[in-house]
Amino acid sequence: MTTTTRPAAGSAADLMLGDDAVALGALHAGISNAYAYPGTPSTEIFARLIREAAAGSAVIAHWCTNEKSAFEGAIGASLAGRRALVTMKHVGLNVAMDPFVNAALVGLGGGIVLAVADDPGMHSSQNEQDSRCLADFARVPCFEPATAQEAYDLTREAFVVSERLQVPVLVRLVTRLCHERSMVRTAPPEPPKPLHKAGPRQDWVLLPANARRLWGELLALQDEMRLANEASAHNRRTDGAGRRGVLTTGIGRRYFGEVLPEMTARPPHLHIGTFPLPKDLVRAFAADLDSMLVLEDGYPYVERQLPGLVPSRCKILGRESGALPAAGELNVVNVRAAFGLPALQLHESVLLNVPARPPRLCDGCVHRDSYAAMQQVIADLGIGAITGDIGCYTLGALPPYEAIDSCVCMGASIGMAKGASDAGLRPAVAVIGDSTFLHSGIPPLIDAIGHDTDMTVLILDNETTAMTGGQPTALPTSRLMPVVLGLGVDPAHVHLFSAHPRKVQELAALIKQEIAHAGLSVIVVQRECVQAARQRKKHES
Amino acid sequence: MRADVVLAGVGGQGVLTIARLLAEAAANDGFHVVQGELHGMSQRGGAVQAHFRLSDQPIESPQVPRGRADLLVGFEPLETLRNIAWLAPGGRIVTAIRPIENMPGYPPIEQVLAELRRFPEAILIDAHATALAAGSQRAENFVIAGAAFSLLPLTPGKLRAIVRKRAERWTEREGEAAIKALAAGRAAIGGAEPVHG
């Protein structure tokens, strides 16, 4: 089982994150364009690309307003014959699903690789959806690296496959791989593709007549995709003793590798690194088995495809069967248990319980002022619905503020406040950050404008995408107010408030005043993020 | 030869920086290295944990399994205690003793330290005072790094070289304090034998 690489003199090997490896894999594949919206744990892919661009790489790397816009940028680059990388976290793909699914139909020119970082265990996400299912849904290949080295190699290979099949290829990462530093050996880079407009037009205009033909062509490609995987070096069978087999995908292989030395004999093993599932390989592997344990991080994606592929006497064990927990990450503890290995003795604190240390808003954070004001408003007016959104300010749900009722998905605060107000739950207040507002808050705000909904929107503007480490927002603060006014909110009920800890009373009064207005109001509460300010001052000195 | 290390502390203490520097030092020494961490929520003053594995053989799991850490490196005493389940039987602890009380219900520090002293191999270091003596209270993490490094089966001086290189981006004073803090951390350990898995 190949895992880590030892540093060797003279080779181009470096210690890097799995995220860095994806960035370098794409750069060395000759990408011309890269687009992304930040999201943990994918953000560092793009951070690396931006550093490489600043250091002289001829790549255009732009943070975008949202993942849909990012993916569409890549389709445009492909139309120009250029290779493009798109990166996002798993829930970002929900936002980008429309262009992603339909890009599979058009006649791509340059390759498109979509690197998606899933977050099993929800370390910093609202769900643990498995992007392999979404690649399947779009009927495109999905590569699942197990190591940072594979992340580099598979990202490069994904561009070749994307161009050969003229479909986007999804590289599926998980948190532990994204944020794992290990040695990666790189290979000489390829030059960028020349500008060459892809055609013909009937392969790009998805009118029903064209789309029906292209959909037929995509379906006809499915077998070719699978056959390539039957022969792929990333899908490897290792013989072993006994009739209880192990199937691993991606990082699952490494937990198997970790517990293998403790097993009395090496079981037969099949590793899958590329999808669609090489069914013949699985069938042949399962032919003599009595059981098959499936180790996959995420949904039981492979496990669910096994009935019908494996002989009926072969028992399928995995996250769906209950042999492994259905939720959360794979780890050495649950994999040991699945193999029936004894649990390790663990030390514990005996004298005292260790209380939690939850993340909190930074000292001096502008959101503290907003939530202190909201607490006063809640105390005075009572709670109707205070819908929250995704960012640092989601921490306002926790003590000491406990000032928001919901956090669902990017931009949901505004649409939900409208629905709650329509339904009679008032006062309805939406709390959303500047970057999240630009990402997905504008369309629902237009809906609220259209109906002059009785609600108040607080845009907490800290001038950055703070939660993910301070990426620039798509529009600077100075242009946020013109956007809100330009959409058509009544100027009498649009306010820009420069926040200060001494002005909490004043802010509370303003919020109460606008809640009293029986229509739509927008208050932009503005002050620079303390972390961003620190970074900026460091740069300036 | 191998060593599994878990590092624990509070967001903002430089835990991830030290994990990375240790990994670079080990890689520079010719070892297989895997170093894992989490970014995101943990950076907002919450609990932070990083993993670091070195071996002369290929490494499998990206994380140190619970119950398998040869060395638990704590940058804050309550965080050291929080991660005690990672420690292998006979594993070593190196921990700072200054509490960071940015949370409700922080237990009396004497209780936390008493709990840590139950582990006969625990080395408690007043990293804060040591760092001040070295010239900068912000070098506290380098005191712990120096102590942890001297317990790893690595060539002496490797970490110092890595830190020196990194320090080219810092002010001269910061760099000097970090180097001094490393040495002070090493001194705090005395002549303890390195850990090995």
Residues in chain B closer than 8 A to A251 (CB atoms): 62
Residues in chain A closer than 8 A to B42 (CB atoms): 123, 359
B39·A124 Cβ contact <8 A? yes
Residue range(s) of every CATH 3.40.50.970 domain in chain A: 13-230, 366-537
What integer pLDDT is reported at residue B197 of this predicted model?
A: 67
Q: Is the pLDDT of residue B25 over 80?
A: yes
CA distance A113 to A32: 12
DSSP E strands in A321-438: the ranges are 385-387, 428-433
What integer pLDDT is reported at residue A478 of this predicted model?
A: 79
A7·B27 Cβ contact <8 A? yes
What integer pLDDT is reported at residue A353 of this predicted model?
A: 87
What integer pLDDT is reported at residue A350 of this predicted model?
A: 79
What integer pLDDT is reported at residue B38 of this predicted model?
A: 76
B45·A354 Cβ contact <8 A? no
List the A494-498 sheet strands across, edge first. A385-387, A428-433, A455-461, A520-526, A494-498
Residue in chain B closest to A175 (alpha carbons) equals B38
- From residue A447, give the alpha-carbon distance in Å to each of A145, A370, A405, A523: 42, 25, 21, 17
B28-81 residue pLDDT tens: 999 999 999 876 555 678 899 999 999 999 999 999 999 999 999 999 999 999
Query: Comparing C-alpha atoms, which of A393, A404, A312 is closest to residue A359?
Result: A393
| Structural domains of chain B, ranges and CATH numbers in brackets | 2-189 (3.40.920.10)
Q: How distant is the Cα of B45 from the closest Cα of chain A, in angstroms?
A: 5
A180·B34 Cβ contact <8 A? yes
Residue in chain B closest to A345 (alpha carbons) equals B67
CA distance B44 to A359: 5
| E strand or H helix that includes residue A277 | none
How many CA atoms are closer than 13 Å to the CA of B102, on its beta-carbon side?
20
Structure tokens at A515: 């809640």
Q: Are A183 and A23 contacting, i.e. CB atoms less than 8 angstroms apart? A: no
What integer pLDDT is reported at residue B163 of this predicted model?
A: 93
To which residue do tokens 């119950």 refer?
A: B67
Residues in chain A closer than 8 A to B63 (CB atoms): 176, 331-332
Q: Which residues make beta-bridge pairs with A270?
A: A237, A247
Q: Which fold has domain A366-537?
A: Rossmann fold (3.40.50)
Q: What residue ranges of chain A have pLDDT lower than 50?
A: 9-10
What integer pLDDT is reported at residue B43 of this predicted model?
A: 64
Residue in chain B closest to A122 (alpha carbons) equals B41
Contacts of A509 (CB under 8 A, 6+ apart): none
Give CA angle at B56 (B54, B57), nearest 5°. Answer: 95
Residue range(s) of every CATH 3.40.50.920 domain in chain A: 236-338
Query: Comparing C-alpha atoms, which of A297, A303, A193, A312 is closest to residue A254?
Result: A297
Q: Which of residues 53-112 of B touch A (CB under 8 A)?
A: 58-63, 65-68, 78-79, 81-82, 84-85, 87, 89, 102-107, 111-112
| E strand or H helix that includes residue B81 | helix B77-82
Cβ pairs A/B, distance under 8 A: 166
What integer pLDDT is reported at residue A10 of this predicted model?
A: 45
Residue B112 dihedral angles phi and psi, to the nearest 5°: -65, -45
B126 burial class (0-12, 13-18, 19+ CB within 10 angstroms)?
middle
Query: Comparing C-alpha atoms, which of A28, A379, A371, A394 is closest to residue A186?
Result: A28
What integer pLDDT is reported at residue A358 of this predicted model?
A: 85
Q: How distant is the Cα of A367 from the closest Cα of chain B, in angstroms?
A: 13
What integer pLDDT is reported at residue A281 of this predicted model?
A: 98
What integer pLDDT is reported at residue B54 of this predicted model?
A: 97
- From residue A107, give the alpha-carbon distance in Å to each of A75, A104, A228, A332, B98: 10, 8, 20, 44, 62
Residues in chain B closer than 8 A to A182 (CB atoms): 33-35, 59
CATH number of the A236-338 domain: 3.40.50.920
Residues in chain A closer than 8 A to B32 (CB atoms): 4-6, 183
Give CA angle at A272 (A267, A275), nearest 5°. Answer: 155
B60·A333 Cβ contact <8 A? no
Cα R_g (chain B), whole angstroms: 15
B38·A44 Cβ contact <8 A? no
Q: Which residues make beta-bridge pairs with A13?
A: A185
How does the average pLDDT of chain B come out, rounded? 92
Q: Does B17 touch chain A (CB under 8 A)?
A: no
Identity of the residue in B46, B66, B112 whose CB atom sits nearest the CB atom of A359: B46
Question: What sign does the dihedral A24-A25-A28-A34 (CA atoms) show?
Answer: negative
Superfamily for the A13-230 domain: Thiamin diphosphate (ThDP)-binding fold, Pyr/PP domains (3.40.50.970)
